[in-house]
Amino acid sequence: MPIYDIDYETMPREGLEAIQLRRLQTTIERIYATIPFYKETYDKAGVKPSDIKSLDDLRRLPFTTKQDLRDNYPYRMFAVPMEQVIRIHASSGTTGKPTVVGYTKRDISTWADLMARSMAAAGATAGDIIHNAWGYGLFTGGLGAHYGAERLGASVIPVSGGNTKRQITIMQDFKPTILCGTPSYILHLAEVADEMGVNFKDLSFKSGIFGAEPWTERMRTELEAKLNLKAVDIYGLSEVMGPGVSVECVEEQKGLHIAEDHFIVEIVDPDTLEPVPPGDSGELVFTTITKEAFPVIRYRTKDVTSLNPVPCTCGRTHMRMNKPTGRTDDMLIIRGVNVFPSQIESVLMESREVAPHYQLLVDRVDNLDILTVKVEIDEASFSDDIKGLQAMEGKISHNIKEHLGVSAKVALVEPKTIERSQGKAVRVIDNRQF
């Protein structure tokens, strides 16, 4: 398979590291001068930009967390004036405020390049027709893939999410060859196709690029069998850039190549924050070294994975990360939407005017994530009126959808039936197998 950016993607380690260091130094100098948050934290840590003399010196810099980004909401982590920002995206808005990220013209171009690289890694060429089922909007998936497809010179169908039956008709008629989407939605789509009597073997797909939520090898086997294509995993997050931070190559499908000429990757022990040996699991940490508008230094992703430094047979020299296996915090990803238990809690407080005991149950039924919110009834909200109780469930469910953008089934349960653990409550029971 052709490599999109052969000079950079196959660069020997030594040259790559020299580029990384130069770009890192430039980034640190720039953010120290433009973003008060970094100046303050680096002054406090006693590190000056000129102290960064080697890649190892990166470890002298403090980490950046989601909370830091929230504290500086909306624009205080931007390193350029708004006149230079041409695009804004946002994360889903976790405990209240979303994370707002900005892109300069050059950032958008870099991102398009990286997505073009990713699509090429998945086997796409200029002659391909890309069916883009990621959502278009503040979420980075849709537009990220769109610009990448255009950069590659491929034809892109900006179908976005939803309208499943229509998507299947488009697949039959337009004959797209590359499929992009969240894996759970794509599996759902495959089932609807099945119900409609449409066999994916009669469609024209050769590859699928699936991401925005964790998925397993077992799911790959299922996707490939059902959809008759090669499935590759793509990774990214809006804080770092969006999709295209890393991607699997279609040749190996074993680990995601990190675009190391744009991002420096570390894996740290989430408790001690010390680096872990190569191959060991820990929290994924990224430093952006080419981004202009929204650089992040040692950003803790909370994703748990490990790195694979073994060179890949595809020819790309960039290091690979294994599929993320979980999260260091209690965030759930439900159908691609980030959900924190604390968000549910605030909806419950608002809906019932009392602090309730609750628990989130996540199941995967027919390849779709099903969120059930168990809420303990109390005498203040209890009545002998079944309709009233059902209306209360409906109201909470409606408010969750309104605030978080995910559908949830609300089930009232008896008081004290949600297990109390010592100290912190067990808020989440995730029955999905990743």
Residues of this chain that bind other proteins (CB under 8 A): 377-379, 382-386, 389-390, 411-417
Long-range contacts of 104-111 (CB under 8 A, 24+ apart): 104/80, 104/292, 104/293, 106/292, 107/241, 107/291, 107/292, 107/293, 107/294, 108/147, 110/241, 110/262, 110/290, 110/291, 111/144, 111/147, 111/148, 111/241, 111/242, 111/244
Between CA 23 and CA 342 the distance in angstroms is 38
Q: Which amino acid is at 128?
A: D
Three-state DSSP at 158 gives coil
Q: What's the min distance (Å) between Cβ of 378 and other proteins?
A: 6
Minimum distance between the CB of residue 397 and other proteins, rounded to whole angstroms? 13
> Rounded to whole angstroms, how far apart are CA atoms 212 and 340?
16
Cβ-based burial of 241 (10 A; exposed 0-12, middle 13-18, buried ≥19): buried
User: In whole angstroms, how close is the CB of 401 to other proteins at the nearest point?
Assistant: 19
- Smallest gap from Cβ 356 to other proteins, in A, equals 12
- One-letter identity of residue 394: G
Nearer Cβ to other proteins, position 181 or 356? 356
Residue with smaller CB distance to other proteins, 51 or 385: 385
Q: Which is nearer to other proteins, 57 or 393 (CB)?
A: 393
CB of 371 to other proteins, least distance (A): 15
DSSP annotation of 136? P
Query: In whole angstroms, how close is the CB of 427 to other proteins at the nearest point?
Result: 20
Query: 187 by DSSP, 3-state: which?
Result: helix
Closest CB to other proteins among residues 276, 389: 389
Cα 319 to chain centroid distance, Å, stands at 19
Between 190 and 377, name the residue whose CB sits nearer to other proteins.
377
Q: What is the closest distance, in whole angstroms, from the C-beta atom of residue 116 to other proteins in the complex? A: 50
Instruction: Name which of 7 and 414 has its Cβ closer to other proteins.
Output: 414
Asked if residue 281 lies in contact with residue 269, where contact means CB atoms within 8 angstroms, the answer is no
Q: Given the complex with other proteins, which of 366 and 414 has the nearer CB atom?
A: 414
